[in-house]
Structure 1
Amino acid sequence: MQLSNYLFFTTSCEQALSFYTRCGLGHLVEVLRYGEGGMAVHNEAMRGRIMHAKFEGQGVLFYASDNDDAEPMRGSAHILMMDDREQTKALFGRLAEGGVITTPLAIQPWGDFFGKLTDQFGVQWMLNCAA
């Protein structure tokens, strides 16, 4: 058994996954699109959008898709456990582009270097670098 997150976007899945690739989190390893290869299209506006995608990188695995009935993201966050403070700062800065920092990177009461943000696609990220 393995737990992985599944992100639901309304129409920006491809842009989000491209952004995460540019941030250095990994890359798209599998993609199925509405209307291609026998994939059903229940809404013509969804034709060609991502029905299912797998995203992988070093220590990163999640799935994503576009859904015209998706609810806004809330109540969940990706947490990246890091071991290099400079890499943590760099990745945090890239993910924060166009987003909102909710907890600036700093040493926290538990002693780790930690920050939290919501990216431009509404996905919450927490980065924690052990002291």
Structure 2
Amino acid sequence: MTISTSAYMSFPGIAAEAFKFYHSVFGGDLHVITYGEQIDAGVEFPFDAPREAVANGFLSGPFSLTGGDDLQRSAEKLSPGDINFTAEVSSHEEGEQLIEKLTADGGLVHMPFAVAPWGDHFGVVEDRFGVRWNVTTSSDGGQN
């Protein structure tokens, strides 16, 4: 059996901006559908949805993410600790580059990317949307 997984995130009214950001960091294919586009296509909802709100977004590629806007919440970012992802990279340099991209424009470094007690390079950062990322390499991490 082959299983593919992706995280689903309910963004508090910031899904369009968040999906664009993650697409700029990871690349891949991005598809975003707004409630307005679905209403124009004849879909009826049992609630009033803002036309510009994201009904469904999907980023596929080296990092897959699905999600949309939580119509019950409005905020600039998620609460810290709501969601964490682990990104395993193949080299120390790739880890540094990923951390640089994730912390651009207001992200934070919670644990510097360094050799951890178990031998891997490991660091924890938070992007500008409040999502925490555990960035890790294998114990050799391309440094041998």
In which range does the TM-score fall when normalised by the shorter chain?
0.7 to 0.9
| SS of structure 1 residue aligned to 2:32 | strand
Q: How many residues align?
A: 128
Percent identity over paired residues: 26
Shift, 1:53, TM fit: 0.8
Shift, 1:100, TM fit: 1.8
Partner of 1:78: 85
Which of 53, 69, 72 is matched with 2:72 structurally?
Answer: 69
Judging changes above 3 Å, is the alpha-carbon distance between structure 1 residues 117 and 43 closer, same or farther for their aligned structure 2 residues? farther
Partner of 2:142: none
Which of 47, 59, 66 is matched with 1:42 structurally?
Answer: 47
Shift, 1:89, TM fit: 0.1
- Give the aligned CA root-mean-square deviation in angstroms: 2.1
| SS of structure 1 residue aligned to 2:95 | helix
Which moves more between the two structures, 120-129 or 66-75? Answer: 66-75
Judging changes above 3 Å, is the alpha-carbon distance between structure 1 residues 75 and 29 closer, same or farther for their aligned structure 2 residues? closer
Partner of 1:112: 120
Matched to 2:35, the amino acid is Y
Shift, 1:41, TM fit: 7.8
Which moves more between the two structures, 1-10 or 70-79? Answer: 70-79
Partner of 1:101: 109
Judging changes above 3 Å, is the alpha-carbon distance between structure 1 residues 80 and 67 closer, same or farther for their aligned structure 2 residues? same
Unaligned runs of 5+ in 2: 140-144
Partner of 1:31: 32
Q: Between Structure 1 and Structure 2, whose CA radius of gyration is higher? A: 2
Q: Matches of 1:21 and 1:100 in 2, distance apart?
A: 19
